[in-house]
Amino acid sequence: MTRPCSENTPMHRVYVWELPIRLTHWLIFVATIVLAATGYYIGHPFISVSGPARDHFVMGYARSIHMYAAIVFAMAVFVRLYWLFAGNQYARLTELVPLSGRRFRSLFHAILFYAFLRREPDEYPGHNAMAGSSYAMIFSVYVVMIATGLALYAVGTAPGSPFHIFNNEAPWLYGLQMARLIHHIGMWIIFIFVVLHLHFILLSSLIDRTGALDSMFSGYKFMPNKEGTARD
């Protein structure tokens, strides 16, 4: 195995994740947990209370929290999408959608590596192309979730509210029930993504010792001076 990092390998710091990337990452992280928990309750109200209705506000709180978390989520996703065009080389759209020959090779490299068919991981401080593609996919799901969420929210707004305009989504979505179904499917896609994302991050951090997890706090990755190993 050629995994050249040992305690004596000379390293240097690379500034990979800029502040907006880290900030939006953790905002999306927290918002997703809150949205999934409250959203699951909204879809399947498993808590039923008794007594006079005025004594309780379970669904009311769930929906309020869901909507405030949705604002945080939507803003964070918006900033992250803007950073696809304004960010550094590691944040850009080209890192997410493998269109260049280099990124294509990176994609197959990563797939073969994780399939135990190649020995060396991709040597690159940013995302490997497999990780990048998964982010492109999940950002698209985020956009769909925001769009369907706004369509479901808009029906409760009064004419004149700035959100009333999102009622125009309903005809495109084949009605609000379809928006609701897509919203459910989207949550499960995000869940499956979270499992995969956690898995590869923990592999990268605990087994390959790339400091991938720490880098999402500090922004820095440590690369060996000549050859580096980076897996996302």
Integer Cα distance of 28 and 26 in angstroms: 5
Is residue 203 within the footprint of other proteins (CB under 8 A)?
Answer: yes
**Residue of 187, 216, 223, 230 interacting with other proteins (CB under 8 A):** 187
**Residue carrying the six token digits 């039923």:** 48
Integer Cα distance of 231 and 127 in angstroms: 7
For residue 96, give the nearest of 41, 52, 146, 135 by alpha carbon. Answer: 135
Is residue 13 within the footprint of other proteins (CB under 8 A)?
Answer: no
Is residue 213 within the footprint of other proteins (CB under 8 A)?
Answer: no
| Intra-chain end-to-end CA distance of the chain, in Å | 19
**Residue of 34, 37, 59, 136 interacting with other proteins (CB under 8 A):** 59
Is residue 75 within the footprint of other proteins (CB under 8 A)?
Answer: no
Is residue 174 within the footprint of other proteins (CB under 8 A)?
Answer: yes
| Span near other proteins by CB under 8 A; candidates 24-32, 54-62, 87-95, 97-105 | 54-62
Give me the half-sphere count of Cα atoms (radius 13 Å) on the Cβ side of residue 83.
21
Beta bridge partners of 15: 220
Is residue 48 within the footprint of other proteins (CB under 8 A)?
Answer: yes
Is residue 47 within the footprint of other proteins (CB under 8 A)?
Answer: yes
Is residue 116 within the footprint of other proteins (CB under 8 A)?
Answer: yes
**Residue carrying the six token digits 């502040």:** 19
Q: How far is the CB of 199 from other proteins (least distance, A)?
A: 4
Q: How far is the CB of 133 from other proteins (least distance, A)?
A: 16
